[in-house]
Amino acid sequence: MPVNLIYKHQQKTYELMNEALNKNGRAAYVFPVGCGKSFPVLKYIEDNPNKKVLYVSPNLEIINQIKKYISTYILNGRKVNKATMPNFRGITYQKIALAEDIADIHPDVIVFDEIHRMGAEKWGHGIDLLIEANPSAEIIGMSATPERTDKRNMAYERFGDDVVYEMSLTEALSGEKEGEVVLKGARYVRAISELKGYAEELREGIELTEDETRRHALMKKYEKLNAIISDALGLSDIMEQAMTKKNGKYIVFCTDKQEMFGKMANAREIFGKVNPNIKVDYVISNDEEKGKTPRENRKTIEDFESRENGNSLNLLFCVDMLNEGRHIDGIDGEVQFRPTESSIVYKQQIGRVLSADKSAEETVVIDVVNNWLRQIDTFNELGHAIETNGEKDAYDLFKFSSNELELVGLLKEIGEGLRYNSRQTYNQIINWLETHDGHMPRTTIRKNGKYYLVNEMTDDERDEVNLYARWRVSADRRALEACIRNTTRRITKRI
């Protein structure tokens, strides 16, 4: 089975990539998750069998995937090894950072997958050494998300004018790039009931509002918000309703390994209403507790992909191993237990179920932690792209319900009201620090070994404690503390 570039964006990229390589020896391109970014490179490997190719990737799972593609499309099912593919070699960025085996590598072509990783300080020097040691090698870069969280776009930083093609996730959904819709929308389920804790924080902030008229108005909005949240389905009911394929395959993204193993232990409680017969497995790096070797992770993924739809609900848990690069065949949806402030991670996770070659009739994103709120601009952008491609059914599965629209409006109005309070509190804290030698207000009042109750305090003491209480829930405090933490991490990293 030869490599067939079935989409226009793949065909155009391949042509432009060849032109750039012939002219400058360098080329890079950007496809969104799920749009087959490996295939122009696969085609190049197929068309240039005598060139030695070094494939650089963030992890072994992506290397195993490209080997699987080579086996399927170039070797007619034979496994990739030194005998069948002597001119292909895969290596991780980590190995390059340690300068392992670099001196023995003399490739004609170096492919850098997930090129946003090229900006990492810990292996950037190794990458430079590799390129400098092979000045005549052709360099190919590709990524779904070339912009890092520090806003550096590694496609342009590393390849400049040799970035030959870019397609965004919204363009792939809308079809506006090449007049061809590459990705279809998924049903997006928002776990509104899981906003209870956030709503409680809002209520606490409202109660600390000094202006009585403003406090009363905000509390009315909060009561409407709380009613919507309270009436929403609970977690197990959400799963039952969202997972329409009761014997389907679903990826479950978790925040860390502790949460992952906790959710696995409680899988029957969370997913039991979908199907009481549940098969649970996980992938995790070898350096973690209960870690798996690369071979074990590969077997877990392959078993999950090849598993026929029997009587079981199939869940594959992970932390971040499946976020980028590694496509999973035949999945019916994903569950997001991992909150993220990163639009990059958000798009990567959603991309797991928006694949161009997905076999499932309908896929679902179950957003338990309400990442859609953290990424509301990105979410609306994706929704608009799905709407404009003319597939009304796909958009109806993605768009907000009337209750959700009201909830978004209430959150915005309450947030604006509390931001006003926060700015007022911020100014009061600044004044306090200036008049109290830089000391913060006290959280409690203690005299003669005794903690005073509110009714035992003087007016000034009550004002002091209340000021700290308002500052504790202030958005400005959280922003400042986050800034301090990030600055400290950067300084520590440099040291």
Q: Supply the pLDDT for residue 490.
A: 42
Neighbours of 238 (CB within 10 A): 23
**Edge-to-edge strands, sheet with 249-253:** 187-190, 364-367, 333-336, 249-253, 313-318, 278-282
Q: Which residues of the chain have pLDDT under 70?
A: 1, 98-104, 119-121, 149, 286-289, 322-326, 355-361, 389-397, 419-423, 454-455, 470, 473-495
Q: In sequence order, which residues have a C-beta less than 8 Å from that of residue 187 and are 6 or more positions away?
A: 242, 333, 362, 363, 364, 365, 397, 398
Residues 282-321 have pLDDT tens digits of: 988 766 667 788 888 888 888 988 887 789 999 999 887 7
**Contact predicate 429/421, CB 8 Å:** no
Q: In sequence order, which residues have a C-beta less than 8 Å from that of residue 486 and are 6 or more positions away?
A: none
Residues 117-133 have pLDDT tens digits of: 776 667 777 888 888 88
In sequence order, what DSSP letters do the residues of 218-244 get, joined into one string?
HHHHHHHHHHHHHHSPPHHHHHHHH--
Domains recognised in the chain with CATH numbers: 8-167 (3.40.50.300), 187-191+233-399 (3.40.50.300), 195-231+405-495 (no CATH)
How far is it, in rounded angstroms, from Cα 353 to Cα 186? Answer: 7
Tell which residue, 157, 225, 165, 163, has the closest CA to residue 196.
225
Residue 450 DSSP code: E
Q: What is the dihedral of CA 106, 112, 117, 120, to 10 degrees?
A: 30
Read off the pTM: 0.74
CA 313 vs CA 271, 282, 284, 297, 374: distances in Å: 9, 14, 21, 20, 29
Q: Supply the pLDDT for residue 483.
A: 54
How far is it, in rounded angstroms, from Cα 427 to Cα 281? Answer: 52
**Contact predicate 130/102, CB 8 Å:** yes
**Contact predicate 352/287, CB 8 Å:** no
- Characterize the bridge pairing of strands 278-282 and 333-336: unpaired
Tell which residue, 182, 144, 148, 111, has the closest CA to residue 324.
144
- Characterize the bridge pairing of strands 249-253 and 333-336: parallel
DSSP strands (E only) in 36-129? 53-57, 88-92, 109-113
**Contact predicate 115/147, CB 8 Å:** no
How far is it, in rounded angstroms, from Cα 256 to Cα 429? Answer: 36
Could you give the maximum distance between any two Cα atoms of the chain, in Å? 86
Buried b (16+ CB within 10 A) or exposed e, 345-356: bbbbbbbbbbbb
